[in-house]
């Protein structure tokens, strides 16, 4: 295969970026998208040019590092991670446009690498449980209905890649935050902090500058782990309940 790449190049956060065009021949359809980028970078290094900076780690679709907007879609034309996208998804002679996540809360560090530490700060704000685990408990020590356990596990599969933010016209992080809130709120171990947790995480999300959710469902459509927007509905319920409790306590009316 022969392909043309239009890649976003940006020296750092303060520098203005631009697209640069590269031609690649002898691309195997069986290569992953990141392997194709490895070849591009090898060619650039041989020519004495600076390679394209891009995030990657496990290359197994489980770490969420491989953040690229490919032809206008986060992670490319398939609902999967970039590292699991293969060149057979494209045609010989195609022009492929590659750029970083576009969100003010994800500033570009260099080329295709963005700073996603905002997600880390949101989790640190309240994404924990205070229950002492001690030794490894018996698997059935705390009875949890299978439906609830499955829902919590589905939410916990979020890898924090940020595709939901990149896909949203408002750059909203609601799908990510709702998944992190849901995985704890559904389980008994997460109940003690449920109200404090959701208030702190939503407050941190707003502080980071993410946009509001307007239910376009673009986040769900592009999420490589198929996180459902029903989690956003749960987040809203958790948040409103927490706010009511906080108001009752502040006004001397008590709360649960």
- Residue 256, pLDDT score: 53
- All residue ranges of the chain with pLDDT < 50 are none
Is the domain of 92 the same as that of 175? no
State how far the Cα of 178 lies from the Cα of 234, in Å rounded to an integer: 7
Q: Is 7 left (phi over 0), alpha (psi -120 to 50) or beta?
A: beta
Q: Report the alpha-carbon distance of residue 40 to residue 223 in Å, rounded.
A: 27
Same domain, 124 and 52: no
CATH of the domain at 163: 1.10.1060.10
Residue 130: predicted pLDDT: 77
- 192 plus 87 within the same structural domain: no
Structural domain boundaries, residue 144: 117-132+139-250
Q: What is the predicted pLDDT for the residue at 255?
A: 53
pLDDT at 250: 84
What's the confidence (pLDDT) of residue 254? 56
166, 102 Cβ separation under 8 angstroms: yes
Global pTM value: 0.91
Task: Provide the CATH number for the domain around residue 95.
Answer: 3.10.20.30
Res 183: pLDDT:
93
255: in domain: no
* 14/92 same-domain check: yes
């Amino acid at each position: 295969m022969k392909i043309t790449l239009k890649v976003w190049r940006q020296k750092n956060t303060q520098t203005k970026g631009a697209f640069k065009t590269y031609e690649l021949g002898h691309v195997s359809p069986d290569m992953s998208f990141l392997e194709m980028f490895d070849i591009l970078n090898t060619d650039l290094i041989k020519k004495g040019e600076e390679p394209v900076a891009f995030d990657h780690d496990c290359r197994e679709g489980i770490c969420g590092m491989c953040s690229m907007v490919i032809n206008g879609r986060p992670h490319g034309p398939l609902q999967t991670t970039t590292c699991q996208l293969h060149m057979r998804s494209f045609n010989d002679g195609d022009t492929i446009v590659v750029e970083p996540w576009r969100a003010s809360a994800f500033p570009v560090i260099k080329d295709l690498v963005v700073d996603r530490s905002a997600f880390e700060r949101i989790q640190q704000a309240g994404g924990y449980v205070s229950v002492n685990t001690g030794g490894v408990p018996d698997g059935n020590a705390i009875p949890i209905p299978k439906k609830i356990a499955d829902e919590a596990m589905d939410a916990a599969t979020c890898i924090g890649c940020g595709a939901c933010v990149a896909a949203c016209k408002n750059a909203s992080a609601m799908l990510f935050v709702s998944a992190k809130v849901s995985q704890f709120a559904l389980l008994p171990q997460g109940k003690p902090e449920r109200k404090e947790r959701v208030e702190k995480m939503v407050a941190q999300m707003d502080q980071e500058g993410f946009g509001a959710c307007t239910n376009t469902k673009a986040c769900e459509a592009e999420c490589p782990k198929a996180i459902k927007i029903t989690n956003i509905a749960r987040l809203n319920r958790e948040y409103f309940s927490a706010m009511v409790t906080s108001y009752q306590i502040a006004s001397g009316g008590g709360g649960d």
